[in-house]
Every structure is written in C-alpha cells, then in structure tokens.
Amino acid sequence: MLETKDILETINMIDNENLDVRTVTMGISLLDCLDQDIDKSANKVYDKICRYAKDLVKTGEDIEKEYGIPIINKRISVTPIGMVAAPCQSKNIVKFAKALDKAANTLGVNFIGGYSALVQKGFAAGDYALIESIPEALSVTEKVCSSVNIGSTKAGINMDAVKMMGKIVKDTALKTADKDCIGAAKLVVFCNAPEDNPFMAGAFHGVGEADCVINVGVSGPGVVRAALAKDGQNKDIAEIAEMIKKTAFKITRMGQLVAKEASKRLCVPFGIVDLSLAPTPAVGDSVAYILEEMGLESCGCHGTTAALALLNDAVKKGGVMASSHVGGLSGAFIPVSEDAGMIAAAKKGTLDITKLEAMTSVCSVGLDMIAVPGDITPETISAIIADEAAIGMVNTKTTAVRLIPAIGKKAGETLEFGGLLGSAPIMPIREGSPKEFIQRGGRLPSPLQALKN
C-alpha cells in the first residue's frame, strides 16, 4: 500500500519544489534521407521527422496529465546534418536548417537539435560547409540547435576546428545581435560529445543509434535543495551525500517511468534516461543554491569545486540504480544564465569564468550559457574552447562551451533571453592574447589516457 507521507512528498516536490521532467526527446536517424539533390534531401528530412514524431507532443501532454508530472519540453534530435549534407556538395546547406525548423513548427516541439558536425579528428565532406553555415542557420531559424564536436579523448583536439569555431561563435552572436545574441545560445562546442544526449543545445542522434529512440532528461535541483534545507542541518558530508543520492533516486525513477511510458505509447524503443540536474531560472530551482545549502556563503567561493564534485557524484550514484539505461550527459549542469543562484553569484562577483572552468572538471558539462564582452576576439573564444576541450579530453569526460559574446555590451551589463534561457550577466575575461597559439592550427595529440587497449 502507498503511504500517505510518500504521496504527499511527491505532490510537494511537484507543486513547490519545481520537480519536472525537463525533456522527452525523440532521436531520429536521417541516414536514409541522403540525396545528391539538396532540395530532395531536405524534403525527405522534413517528411521523415514529421512522420516519426507526429504524436510526440500529444503523447507527452497525455502522460503529463495522467501522471501529474510536468514535462517541460518535447524535443527532437537528428543525425548530424554534416553527414546528411555530405552527398549534396551544395554550399546552401541552410536549406536543411530551414527544413528542421519547419518540421519543429509543424509538430509543435520546443527545439530540434542536430545541425551538427563531428570533426574531432578532421573534416569530412559536408562538415566544413555545415560549420560555415551555422551563423546564418541560427539567425534564420528559431528552434534549430547546433553543435560541433571538436575533440575527444581518443582523437585529440582538432585545433583547426577550434580556430574556426571561435569565429563562428562570434559571427553567430553578431548575426543575432538585435535579439540579445540568442543565436550563440543555441550553439555548443563539444569535446567527447555523447550521442544520446536529450538536452539542448547539444542534442544530436549519433550514427550508432537505432532508427528512432526516446531519451528522457530529468530535472530537480529544487527538490535536492529542499531536502538539504529540511534535514541537512548538523549533518556531516557523507550524510549529505546520502540525502542527495536518495533524492536523485526518486527523481530518476520518475524519469524512467515517463521514458518507459512514452516509449510504449509511441512504439519507439527506450534509449536512456539522462540523470542531469538541470536548473531553471525559477527561484529555488538552482544548482548554485544546493551548493550554498551545503554551507558555502556564495557559489564560487573556495570550496565550490569540492561541493560540486560531491553533488555530481551523488546524483549519479542515486540515479543509476533507478534507471535501466543511463546515458547522455548525466551530471549537474551549471548554465550560468539559467540558474538564479549562479546569476546572483556572478553579479556579486564571487563567481567568475576561471572558477567556472575549474568547476567544469568535476561536473557535466562545461562553460555553459556564459555571456562575455562583445569585443572578445575570435582567437580568445577559440582559446577558451581549447582549454575546456583539454579538460574533457584528459579527464575522459564530456565538456562543452556555450559562450554568448554580448555584441555592443561590456562586462557588468546583462543579456536578457527570457524563458528557460534566463538572463546572463556579462563576465570579464582574462587579459592577454592567445592569437599565435590558436593560429598554429593542426591537431593536438590525444593523451595517454586514450591508449587503453
């Protein structure tokens, strides 16, 4: 029999602590949509996505109502378009972005990810043209998200791609300067990108995946914070870890249930549950506040990295037993603009880009949703990407960079995106030019950690 206190606990989590399923993401392979004629190929892409995902939004809404769990986003991820575009030999790859956007609007999904290229070791046919087209693609579409994988532990770091991405990030911000540079918020540069990630902007459907799968991303920083606030006083750190594990278990079980149910109703195999703690700008739903609840005066002060390491590890340990398949990014996210506590800490000056970089070595994902001054040079963006990729490469983990150059603005000002993307205080960056280092190009060799065989 169900216990009253358990039922009331669940209701309280949903009503007062922002517990939700962040996203149900349908991954769709486009490998059968290849064609030498770009228009034909784009049509095939549109048709296949609309055919496969026609019931996605409705099914999500039905589950939401029946189970009483908010499902915030319904999303689609597709095969990296760099591959789909390879046979076309066309410069006008933006047609694919438009087809994806049109499909997203037809279906009513919130985002569609996969305007991507995987170039960790080098550029294949289609990749170069795709990357070049990103600024335009993200300025003429609304729901398309883009990602580029420029490094991996196995392959090393493609420094030519790193050099290129510095310019692409800046150009993307420039092209959307009239909309608070929103384009750059939909572009992620990865090292060790996972192929089954349901979270945007980095979701794409890897080539090793099935034709179609359902992946689910949970959320719930508010629940973890509330648990610590309620029972965390005078507990030692191992007991805190234990409390986080138990809470993460419950959150993930809910995600697993939604994933199984969505997969059954849509007749699509269940892929993975992503265990990430994804914050939202809502008050209380913040990863930074969890760290502060552990006893830090302000997120970013000394001790933050250790507290985050504990949180990240406990979330995984609690979550992994709750789900039959765990994947994606699975860890605590620290997107500055999407986290009320991080925004407050950045405004106070206790949280800066170098502390964030240190934090990314112990959590997923990376320097995420960080606004930087608009006069930042492309080489400096590239160097930030290279630093972050090096952390991922050496530690055999995913790292990512989602920087927003705030065109026309300086450190201390703010970019306002609204909705889930929140608002981003512009952070100062370090002095000194990395120009010569970045212009060398070439391939940064993979580390010894890659040689495991």
Partner 1 sequence: MKAVITVIGKDSVGILAKVSGACAEVGVNVVEVTQSVLQNMFAMIMLVEIEKSNVSFDQLKSNLNKVGENTNTKIHIMHEDIFNSMHKI
Q: Which residues bind partner 1 (CB under 8 A)?
A: 1-4, 6-11, 15, 65-69, 250, 253-254, 256-257
Toward partner 1, which CB reaches closer, 12 or 354?
12
Q: Considering the complex, what minimum distance in angstroms separates the CB of residue 208 from partner 1?
A: 29
Q: Are 184 and 176 in contact (CB under 8 A)?
A: yes
Both tokens assigned to 285: 């739903």
Toward partner 1, which CB reaches closer, 64 or 285?
64
Q: Considering the complex, what minimum distance in angstroms separates the CB of residue 254 from partner 1?
A: 6
Q: Considering the complex, what minimum distance in angstroms separates the CB of residue 16 from partner 1?
A: 11
Q: Considering the complex, what minimum distance in angstroms separates the CB of residue 249 from partner 1?
A: 9
Toward partner 1, which CB reaches closer, 69 or 389?
69
Q: Considering the complex, what minimum distance in angstroms separates the CB of residue 4 from partner 1?
A: 6
Toward partner 1, which CB reaches closer, 65 or 347?
65
Helix or strand run (H / E) with residue 380: helix 378-394
Residue 404 has φ and ψ, to the nearest 5°, of: -120, 100
Distance, CA of 227 to CA of 246 (rounded, Å): 10
Toward partner 1, which CB reaches closer, 67 or 128?
67
Q: Considering the complex, what minimum distance in angstroms separates the CB of residue 7 from partner 1?
A: 6
Q: Are 187 and 9 in contact (CB under 8 A)?
A: no
Return the amino acid letter for 61. Answer: E
Q: Considering the complex, what minimum distance in angstroms separates the CB of residue 170 from partner 1?
A: 45
Toward partner 1, which CB reaches closer, 50 or 320?
320
Q: Considering the complex, what minimum distance in angstroms separates the CB of residue 314 from partner 1?
A: 18
Toward partner 1, which CB reaches closer, 3 or 236?
3
Q: Considering the complex, what minimum distance in angstroms separates the CB of residue 231 from partner 1?
A: 17
Both tokens assigned to 102: 């049109």
- Sorted by sequence, the CB contacts under 8 Å of residue 3 that are 6+ apart come out as none
Q: Considering the complex, what minimum distance in angstroms separates the CB of residue 64 from partner 1?
A: 11
Toward partner 1, which CB reaches closer, 10 or 361?
10
Toward partner 1, which CB reaches closer, 172 or 256?
256
Q: Are 350 and 303 in contact (CB under 8 A)?
A: no
Toward partner 1, which CB reaches closer, 246 or 443?
246
- Sorted by sequence, the CB contacts under 8 Å of residue 122 that are 6+ apart come out as 158, 443
- Sorted by sequence, the CB contacts under 8 Å of residue 450 that are 6+ apart come out as 153, 154, 155, 156
Residue 103 has φ and ψ, to the nearest 5°, of: -60, -45
346 Cα distance to chain centroid: 20
Both tokens assigned to 318: 């609690």
Whose tokens are 């994933």? That residue is 259
Q: Considering the complex, what minimum distance in angstroms separates the CB of residue 270 from partner 1?
A: 14
Q: Is the peptide bond before 99 cis (omega within 30 degrees of 0)?
A: no
Say how many residues make up the chain. Answer: 453
Helix or strand run (H / E) with residue 158: strand 156-158
Toward partner 1, which CB reaches closer, 68 or 428?
68
Q: Are 158 and 121 in contact (CB under 8 A)?
A: yes
Toward partner 1, which CB reaches closer, 225 or 250?
250
Distance, CA of 291 to CA of 293 (rounded, Å): 5
Q: What is the DSSP letter of 434?
A: -
Q: Are 244 and 318 in contact (CB under 8 A)?
A: yes
443 Cα distance to chain centroid: 25
Please name every residue paired with 188 in a beta bridge, in sequence order, or none if there are none: 147
Interior CA angle at 433 toward 183 and 201, to 5°? Answer: 20
Q: Considering the complex, what minimum distance in angstroms separates the CB of residue 216 from partner 1?
A: 13
* Coil vs helix vs strand at 270: strand
